[in-house]
Amino acid sequence: MKAIEVTGKIDQEGNLILDEPIQGTTYPHQVRVIVLVPEEAEAEEIDPDDTPIEEIKASLRRALHQAKTGQRLPLSQMWEGIDAE
């Protein structure tokens, strides 16, 4: 058996909703699903300062678009006003 680890949520109707689609392979037969739910203590261990993946992806998309359209600053200009000690 092959394992694929993904994350997701369970909605109010009990449906499993994946954060990202499983890419690259289709499975015409039934699959087995094991749901791991964090205990309360484990849920509290999640670092609230971690940036959500979707926010990171959106930021990278904006940066790529800005780079492609020439909306960028020279490196020398980025350092202006920063006092390095």
14-73 pLDDT per residue, tens: 999 999 888 877 888 888 889 888 777 655 566 767 888 888 999 999 988 888 888 877
Query: Three-state SS across 24-67?
Result: CCCCCCCCCCCCCCCCHHHHHCCCCCCCCHHHHHHHHHHHHHHH
Secondary structure letter of residue 16 according to DSSP:
E
Dihedral over Cα of 16, 21, 23, 27: its sign: positive
Nearest by Cα to 3 from 28, 34, 24:
34
Q: Is the pLDDT of residue 12 over 90?
A: yes
Secondary structure letter of residue 23 according to DSSP:
P
- C-alpha dihedral (11, 13, 15, 19), degrees to nearest 10: -20
Q: Looking at residues 8-13, what average pLDDT do you find?
A: 92
Q: Is the pLDDT of residue 10 over 80?
A: yes
Between 4 and 49, whose confidence is greater?
4
